[in-house]
Structure formats: structure tokens, C-alpha cells
Amino acid sequence: MSKNYCLHRNKTYLLNITNNVLELTSNDIRDINIGFKEYIDVLGNKHRNILVKKVDMDEIEFAYELKYKVMYKGLEFEPWAIGRFILENNSLSLFTQDTKIANQYNFIKKEQFVFKKDILLDEVDALIEIKKPILKFKYLDEVILSIKKEDIVDYLNKVYF
């Protein structure tokens, strides 16, 4: 699971791309001062804690797809999902499509060739953040950051709270 983000005015925002329209999302009420508006859902309800802004490509300083990998028992796995719930539950779920590895590490079969395992945060060797450039930045190299076991909680607090 990955999401798109961008840098706009030296600040990172969630980036939604639909039919070549770029829309930024923020939860910072101060962003109203730079053109963000309250999100209005399909039923016409205003959401004061969700702000959106449409931007042109030239207003974006960098755009990327954010992905993660998890190092567990010396192997690299895909996380089922990454978010604040990891800190709330002190655990995360890994998945693999490799039957041999799934059997070796006691993963549970969820569907054909999809195996899942819940592990405690303390069992994670490292969290790997991968920023893959997109849009006009796709020619740039991926930016990979390895977050050590002892720094994962601080990293997740910074990113998701």
C-alpha cells in the first residue's frame, strides 16, 4: 500500500492525482492562509479538519510515492499497512506471497498466495521508507531511508501524529 505526497512551499502534503488534476490535502488550519479550503464531501458536508487545494504542476517542488518495507528476521517484507494504529496496537502486519517463507515464519494464509503475520513492533529489525519520484520528477532516483529499530516509534510519531 502506498500513497502519493508532494512538497509545496517547503511543506509535505498528501497528493491526490485524478485526471491530471493535482489536489493537496492538509489537516493544518493555518493552510487556509495559503489557499486551502475546507473539504466538502459528496453529500455537501463541510469538514473543518480536512483542507484541500488544487495546484498546478509548477507549484510542486517534489512529488513522490511513499512505500515501506519491513526488515524482520533479516528478511524484507511488505507491511500490510502503515499508520498510527501501529503505535496504538504496538504491532504491525506483514505479508508475503512466498509459500516457503510463509511456512518457515508461521504466516497465516489469507487467500491464494497471500500470507499474513502480525508481529510486535519490538520484533521489527528496521523500517525502510522508500520515496519513489513521480510526475515530472520520475527521472530522479528513489530516496531510501532505513529507520533503525530504536527509532521506529519516534519516526511513526513524527509522521502520523
Confidence (pTM): 0.86
- Give the contacts of 107 (CB within 8 A, at least 6 positions apart): 94, 95, 96, 101, 115, 116, 117
DSSP, collapsed to helix, strand or coil, labels residue 139 as: coil
What residue spans define the domains of the chain? Answer: 3-60, 67-127+145-160
User: What pLDDT is attached to residue 92?
Assistant: 94
For 1-23, what is each residue's pLDDT tens digit?
679 999 999 999 999 999 989 99
User: What pLDDT is attached to residue 1?
Assistant: 60
For 18-65, what is each residue's pLDDT tens digit?
998 999 999 999 999 999 999 999 999 999 999 999 999 999 999 999
For 134-154, what is each residue's pLDDT tens digit?
999 999 999 999 999 999 999
Q: What is the average pLDDT across 98-120?
A: 95
- Give the contacts of 7 (CB within 8 A, at least 6 positions apart): 13, 60, 61, 62, 63
CA-derived radius of gyration, the chain: 18
